[in-house]
Homo-oligomer: A and B are copies of this chain.
Amino acid sequence: MKVLTKKTDYAIRALLALAAGKDSYVSAKTISAEQDIPYQFLRTLLQEMIGMELIISKEGVQGGFRLNKEPDKIQVKHLIEGFQGKVQVSECMFRKQLCKNRATCVLRHEIMRIEQVVSNEFEKITIGTLFRNLQMVNGLHQASESDRLPESLQH
């Protein structure tokens, strides 16, 4: 079970690249190269994020993308929901007919509680918080000679 699809993963990385670019426009080409995201895939992804009003674009030479909101107002929760749909237990068979699967219903009740917890946590994580963490890690990284992350961030 994968919590983030590549699309969401790429989206987050692209947004972090835009956060780093501050108010200037960053081109898809640049993001693609820096973050190692397939160019055309990124392009469609960026269009979707325009639709979600997370970013805005500028056409033509020197064009590109920049954030349309403060980084702290872009929640990972919204990205997951936007790209992967709202978190749900399994398809609800209720109402289709009298719910044959009362077992699923009971389980659902339990899981909805868990979902709420998860949802609250993903709400707290924003492009802003991630960006600041990232800067910290990069700071540590440059201070040492090694290419390795601190033990606590390895996986």
Task: Tell me the A residues contacting B by CB distance below 8 Å.
Answer: 1-6, 8-9, 12-13, 16, 35-36, 76, 80, 84-92, 94, 98-115, 117-118, 121-122, 125, 130, 133-134, 137-138, 141, 147, 149, 152-155
Contacts and interface: CB of A to CB of B under 8 A. Distances in A.
A122 B109 CA distance: 13
Contacts of A125: 107, 110-111
A104 B137 contact: no
What is the interface of chain A mostly: helix, strand, loop, or mixed?
helix
User: Which of A13, A107, A137 is packed against the most chain B CB atoms within 10 Å?
Assistant: A107
B155 A36 contact: no
Given A13-B101, A35-B100, A6 B90 contact: yes
A154 B94 contact: yes
Contacts of A84: 1
A83 to B, nearest CB: 9
Given A1-B84, A9-B101, A109-B152, 15 more contacts: A1-B85, A1-B86, A1-B88, A2-B85, A2-B88, A3-B87, A3-B90, A3-B111, A4-B90, A76-B107, A105-B155, A106-B130, A114-B121, A117-B121, A118-B118
B108 A114 contact: no
B98 A134 contact: no
Nearest to A121: B114
A9 B90 contact: yes
A106 B153 contact: yes
